[in-house]
Amino acid sequence: MALDVAVPVVDPYGSVFRLLRSVELPFSLFRVEDPSDVEADAPFAILSSYGKADAGAVDELAGRVPTVVYAVQVRASDPAPLMRALAYVSDRMPAGLIRDVIMTALSRTANASAAA
C-alpha cells in the first residue's frame, strides 16, 4: 500500500538515494543535496553518511526534523553513532531490515505528530 508522503533524502552523491530506491519503500523519496533544503514540515528526512557520520550535520538536521541516518562505506569496527538521529541504517543491513527500520521511524513520527 502506497503512502501519501514524500521524504527528502539528503545525499550529495546520489548513492544512498539509489540504494533506497531498491528497498521499495511505500512512499515517495526525493533527493536534495544539502540539509538546508529540507523543509521543517517534512515527516522526517534521511541523511546520507559516507564513512564516519558527521555528528554536527546529524544534530543540525535532527534539530529541525526527525532524521534517519543511512551510512555507507562504514568499517565494521566503527560503532553506530549515538546522536540525535531517530534511527540508523547501513548498507551492511539486508534490504528488508532497512525497510522495517525506516517504516518504524515513519510510524513514530506519525504517532508523535498525532499526539501533539
The domain that holds 106 is classified in CATH as 3.40.50.2300
Looking at residue 115, its pLDDT comes to 63
Q: What is the mean pLDDT of residues 68-74?
A: 83
For 72-84, letters b (16+ CB in 10 Å) and e give bebeeeeeebebe
The whole-number pLDDT of residue 77 equals 55
Residue of 99, 106, 101, 103 lying closest to 23 (CA atoms): 99
Indicate whether 65 belongs to any domain.
yes
Comparing 16 with 113, the larger pLDDT belongs to: 16
Model confidence band, residue 88 (pLDDT cutoffs 50, 70, 90): confident
Instruction: Please state the domain count of the chain.
Output: 1
Closest CA to 108 of 56, 65, 79: 65
Average pLDDT, the chain: 85
Distance CA(104)–CA(15), nearest Å, equals 23
**pLDDT at 92 > cutoff 60:** yes
Domain membership of residue 52 (yes or no) is yes
The answer to whether position 90 is within a domain reads yes
Q: What pLDDT does 87 receive?
A: 86
Is 1 inside a domain boundary?
Answer: no
> What global pTM score does this model have?
0.84
- Please give the pLDDT value at position 80: 53
pLDDT band for position 39 (50/70/90)?
Answer: very high
Q: Is 20 part of a structural domain of the chain?
A: yes
Flag whether pLDDT at 34 surpasses 90.
yes
The domain containing residue 108 runs over which residues? 6-115
Residue 93 sits at the vertex; the CA angle it makes with 22 and 81, to the nearest 5 degrees, is 115
In a domain, 46, yes or no: yes
